[in-house]
Amino acid sequence: MRDPSFNQPRVVGPVDHPLERLFADIERSRQVLRHLLDSRKPGSSIQVLEAREESRAALERFVATLVAHQLPVPRRINDELALVRRLCAHARAPYRKVLPPEKRSQSDSHPD
């Protein structure tokens, strides 16, 4: 005998799926960053950098989960992640110790 509810539409409530939570993290980080950039005040560059790092981390977690589940990564997400990575790297660059070319080759061959 067939289940009588077989042809009945299922009522689905809010789904608590890991991808949805991860995407919600992305949305929250975007909102925080947008708010900081809109209300830019002197001395807030550290907060903007931290917000960008959080946005990058949220995107990285989302993409890693998609890849782990063998799901395609939307092009917009890939593009946004690439952009945020570049912005984060560029913002951190002045704080890196820059070695002269002759020292770079020595430090590459002899890791500390």
Task: Dump pLDDT digits (tens) for 18-33.
Answer: 889 999 999 999 999 9
* 68 is a domain residue: yes
* 11 is a domain residue: no
The radius of gyration computed from the CA coordinates of the chain, to the nearest angstrom, equals 22
* 59 is a domain residue: yes
Q: What is the mean pLDDT of residues 75-100?
A: 79
- Is the full-model pTM beyond 0.75? no
* 109 is a domain residue: no
Question: How far is residue 112's CA from residue 99's CA, in Å, rounded to a whole number?
Answer: 15
* 112 is a domain residue: no
* 104 is a domain residue: no
* 61 is a domain residue: yes
* 50 is a domain residue: yes
Q: Kindly tell me if the per-residue pLDDT of 2 is higher than 80.
A: no
Q: Kindly tell me if the per-residue pLDDT of 3 is higher than 60.
A: no
Q: Kindly tell me if the per-residue pLDDT of 76 is higher than 60.
A: yes
Share of the chain above pLDDT 90, in %: 44
Domain count, the chain: 1
The 8-class DSSP code of residue 93 comes to: G
- C-alpha distances (whole Å) from 104 to each of 68, 93, 100, 110 are 36, 16, 6, 10
Strands (DSSP E) found in the chain: none
* Parent domain of 78: 18-94
